Amino acid sequence: MVGLGLNYAAYESQVYRTAFQAVPERQWQVAYSLGMHPLLAFRRIIFPQAFRIALPPMTNDFVALFKDTSTAFAIAVWELATAYRELANATQSYLGIGIVVCFYYLAMSLPLAHYAHKLEQRLQRKSTGIISSGKDK
């Protein structure tokens, strides 16, 4: 579990680093010229822009992490793939139980992907200045 966590921590750190580097340096200069101190400039100007940039790859990584936990059975951690393997071996019903396990993974990952998509749309509307009346949903 530590290895899986460290692996994804490395990916996430690169996502965040890239997002912060994508915000133009001029944004800091403008914030300072408005009299903001560094922490306030980061919180109000830099972080919201970087968050919009980092959101899609960040949510993709979280969904992938959720799916990659099935590799944890290699180190004898009980989880869904391990349960599938043991139940399928016991009942000799590989396809039926496999389909059920697929639906479980789908049922757990689709809401996260859907929520991330809605959040991305909301942030996109805010950044472009388009205000939704609720009729386009």
Q: What is the pLDDT of residue 27?
A: 93
CATH code of the region 2-128: 1.10.3720.10
* For the chain, the helix, strand and coil percentages under 3-state DSSP, each to the nearest 5: 85, 0, 15
- CA quadruple 21, 27, 29, 30: dihedral, nearest 10: 180
pLDDT in tens, 17-73: 999 999 999 999 999 999 999 999 999 999 999 998 998 888 888 877 777 766 655
Rounded CA separation 40/70 (Å): 41
**This prediction's pTM:** 0.59
pLDDT in tens, 70-91: 665 555 545 666 677 777 878 8
* Residue 122: how many other CB atoms lie within 10 Å: 11
pLDDT in tens, 96-111: 888 887 888 788 778 8
What residue segments make up the domains of the chain, in order of their start?
2-128
